[in-house]
Structure 1
Amino acid sequence: MALPQIFIKCLLFFLLIYLPFCQAQLSEIPSPYVYSVDYFNTTLYKSLIIKGNATIDEQGALQITPDTTNTASGYRLNKSGRVMLMKRFKVWEGQTSSSNNTNSSSDIVASFNSTFLVNFFVPDESPGEGFAFIISPDLEIPSNSYGEWLGLTNATLNGNSFNKFVAIEFDTKKQSYDINDNHIGLNINGVQSNKSVSLSEFGIVLAPVNRTVKYWVWVEYNGTTKLLEVYMDEEDRRKPDRPVLSEYINLKNYVNKRSYFGFTASTGTTAQLNCVLHWYLTVQNLDKEDKFWLKVGIALGVSVVVLLVICMMGWFYYRKKKKVCDELNILNELMKIPGTPKEFQYKDLKQATNNFSEKMKLGQGGYGVVYKGVLAKDNAEVAVKRFSRECTKGIADFLAELTIINRLRHKHLVRLLGWCHKKKTLLLVYEYMPNGSVDSHLFGSPDKFLSWTRRCNILAGLSSALHYLHYEYDQMVVHRDLKSSNILLDSDYNARLGDFGLARALEQGKNSYATAADGVPGTFGYIAPETFHAGKATTDSDVFGFGAVVLEVVCGRQPWAKVLGSMVLVDWVWKLYREGRILEAVDENLGTDYVDAEAEKLLLLGLACSHPIASERPKAKNIVQMISGSVPVPEVPRFRPAFVWDPEDSTTSDSTNSTNTTDSTMSNPADTMRITLSYKGESGPQCLSREKYVGFVDIIIKP
């Protein structure tokens, strides 16, 4: 056995030197730029450039040409406008292309995905002129670009190769060079389309008279294949399988290396409203990809080496017949835990749970199953958590939870009674909570109804527990899975926060918990948006989860539940707040049995904690004071701010209390979902799909 031992030691020594280098190289691969806006307001003037007759109206939309609500004579005619994202993107890499080859394998071009909801409204009998999505070398709108020029160019500049723009036009008025007055076209440096398709073939009418229709448009460009595809359908429908426009185009031949993205439109002797209601943009980041293929080679090399190590270690352990879960090692680790908790006998717990019977089962999660038990010696009721992963990872989860919860002492935390390890079975024993979890009362049978007083007490207790974890315990603890199913109720309906399987304590002198980030731990609806991109959970992300619980308890709705067909809970509450009707969000099952001032305070606190920007959320120590009424709730913006993730400028909002995420297991909702920056309905999530793009990684949530 000496030879395998020497071989494995050599490999491990090699990895010890090689892996840090690989990690340093791969960490430089940039994330894509993401821009997401569901509601446009004046605060977005900082990120948008608005030219010509374009405006942001009071209804939260981009009016690329004048709003039809102004009926002044001639106000809407012969106008043009342009709205551009202020950021300039690197669209392609290297020197100017030496050929016009459509799909040159040597050309590195950025992939992008632009999805927007657009509305063309005709106030009179005739529409005109059109609207376009543009990739432009600058932000300015050409003079005299109204009428047939669509805000793209003018009679002097039209067709000039120095224009350096590519646009997707949506034309509603036929010119001599157009196929009809209802078509989509690919325009390069001019308004005569290089390719145009009649939308009538798809049953689409861009600007129907006397009828308002909103259309989702998906513009997808694959920088590897150079394929541009445009999909289009009405607002309440999914993304269609068939594109309305498909064309191979090498953008390197037609646009500047650094260009802008945005919209243009115009009216002529007839007019229409050209309105953008939502916009989601994802652009591949080429700024740091000069050594991309080197990094790919490094990643492949690391994968091969790791595979060899795994195979050799598997063969070695098979020959040695060594168990993965070594009882002696676990006992040694347990002895290192300060104030080692009580050890229970396996036979006693087996008897208490009736041999872990399904009838005694209380719940199940990603880390194991929880059973109710009755100890024969003192007839005491307990909750027994049985870890399901009989492997090294399961041991790590077991020890992590045991280490943290054993030393926590707070009246609003579930108390640990002891542990057990027998025959590779890992068990933790907790105090039994007879009234179950909060979600079972909110969404269970009517006889479990929670009164307003109990709901307020639950939230007060939860805030106290969160304050203890973040500030009062000798080590800062980030829970990472705050949700209603992890909040248990004792016999007096006092809240007890439990399930510390994802929690991590930070050692003194350290500001983060560093492990290999396999994914994003937590539960959909309770996870802060920055967690998906920064790969870290912080005290601020705990506060976001707390905000989701507050809204859930007050409104009696789950965070991911759709309201009015497409809005999730937080968007619906924000809408009611904006309209001055926030108390309509209170759980209708309460009737009038609640205090208006308390309900409004809690709803505003829930919105404040749900702020998309982490640094704008209140801290746990302030939340306790807000709930008690000693300090007011912070001012909440009427419109939910947009979350913009720019990898070039991003920093951790609270670097002093951040912890790397370490687990990809999630629960709820029932279906696997793709996460975007916007929690929209069925028409939204497809807009950020990046499975076709080189260098893009999708975030998948599994129940």
Structure 2
Amino acid sequence: MGCPRVLLLQIFLLLLGAAICSDHGCALAADEFTYNGFGGANLTLDGMAVVAPNGLLVLSNGTDQMAGHAFHPAPVRLRDGPGGAVRSFSASFAFAIVSNFTVLSDNGMAFVVAPATRLSTFNAGQYLGVLNVTDNGSDDNRVLFVELDTMLNPEFQDMNSNHLGVNVNSMRSLRNHSAGYYDDATGVFNNLSLISRQPMQVWVDYDGAAARIDVTMAPLGLPSGKPRKPLISTPVNLSAVGGAETAYVGFSAATGVVFTRHYVLGWSFAMGGAAAPALDTSRLPSLPRFGPKLRSKVLEIVLPIATAAFVLALLAAAFLYVRRRLRYAEMREDWEVEFGPHRFSYKELYHATKGFKNRQLLGTGGFGRVYKGVLPKSKSKSSLEIAVKRVSHDSKQGMKEFIAEVVSIGHLRHRNLVQLLGYCRRKGELLLVYDCMPNGSLDKYLYDRSKPVLDWEQRFQIIKGVASGLLYLHEEWDKVVIHRDVKASNVLLDGDMNGRLGDFGLARLYDHGVDPQTTHVVGTMGYLAPELVRTGKATPVTDVFAFGVFVLEVACGRRPLGCAAPDDQSVLLDWVQEHERKGAALDTLDPRMCGKYDADEARLAIRLGLACAHPLPDARPGMRQVVQYLEGDAPMPEAAPTCVSYTMLALMQNDGFDSFAMSFPSTATSGVSPVSGGYSDVSGLSGGR
């Protein structure tokens, strides 16, 4: 009698387990499972990852610079035995990424196959919580992941800020593709935005026999189902994932500074060549509502009564309200609605800078006065130090195009560029908001005797940083940005004394307006390429010329004009070139360094500065070559360039340039007009490459 009872009990437990798995998505077999929502699932979670009450897997909650991980608790059999071939597997999951802005996000998420559920020493931000800055690219990582990347990182050779990629042990993808899917009927590619706040589905299929991985995506619930043509199909050698028989599968997501949340709605997985079980979209949890709450019925009844009372109160307070509005009056036109996320109110900038008091003044330049400010804490973010530049601009002509460029430049992301956060317009001025650089501008450390002396290592690092930033502007963004005013006062130093290039693209403002200090050619005397004065046409090589002068300025600690003494009219290029011809180039280095410098790096900097400031545009190197020289990836040509006198070049221009050759103001913005008297369009942004 005992045995039948035991047998019946075992059968009952098996049936009960099957029922529970059917309801909660548990593992039905050793290497297959389905989660139609994650309510009651025994996932292995860490970081920001939690399961919401409705069964939604929340990988991130918007906290800055954090990561979240979620793994299936049991490992899957990746190989049939030690050293055996990797078995075929298939995964399918539904996800959504919600950012505060539908056109701007920060970092994405990834489907991960890893040797353990604890990803040790990972970094958040652009490393997606999977790898870190030191182990990126190491075979010891033993990790495969499919990234859903919503930020362009040039250092990883990302194609754009909206793509999928297949990665093995490195943030640099083996193959990537813009997010979207191919229509089965027409074969046409349809774009999808990863940050559209809409749920989408991804399929990851690995063929162990062919050693190939296919990645496919589509909107969740596409009537035709999984598209036949994959988004990515690439050979992958998963021997780099390690020789262990088992591995863990799951998800990782990371945040940067933009408030973003990552969700997984459902997930299925199968080993051994079987397709991942289909998700039941009717059982998947819903996403949280994004936006203002719907008004209740009670509110609809009470609102008319409350409105009447409010109107009476408003009439009583009208005078005070009008006075307050005049104080914080702004210019706001209908076309600015599309740039809403990048627009600051004048009121918040006024309070942030304590009323633009003189004690908040950081500096004054050709483009206006700059004030330090602090934006107060919000519910989701801590207080933020900012710099606010007030630029006079009375003309309305071209303002829409300029604001569009400001917003576009606000999407630039590079460690050696000052981040442009947004703008505000009020009466006859434009206010531009930047990240605040605590150590101020580089020129103060070169010429202000009250500042500490920069050692050679710091100077060389700043030169390399500015070169990297210019390379990004010229070649590595999706549009070509011409800076047009590269100089020491436009290089700002962050808390670690890294150089960051600022004021890029602002010269475009004066194409549409009139500034009493300039006419058509925007720049600074001493940094202007000869052809720019003649033609009025700014190009990447005119930036290279200014960069060459900047390199010599940093190395020598002298201004481009009046370099020997404050009242001297000599030109730094002529002075350094003369020493180079005599074989005494190192004698031009800043004496305040007391001879403590790397001689090879110093010679490289001087020769590079002269090469970049060559009078012939075609003889100047491009910024990619410049970065290769500075990083030691390519040798500088042995023969130093032969530069004719910069002063003679100036005198060779037509009559409109004679005043430049005679006066040499060292800090004023150029007011030189083209010879023709007209103006060739000098755009801060040109078309894509």
- TM bucket by the smaller chain? 0.3 to 0.5
Q: Which has the higher contact order (CA 8 A, sep 6+)?
A: 1
TM-score (norm 2): 0.43
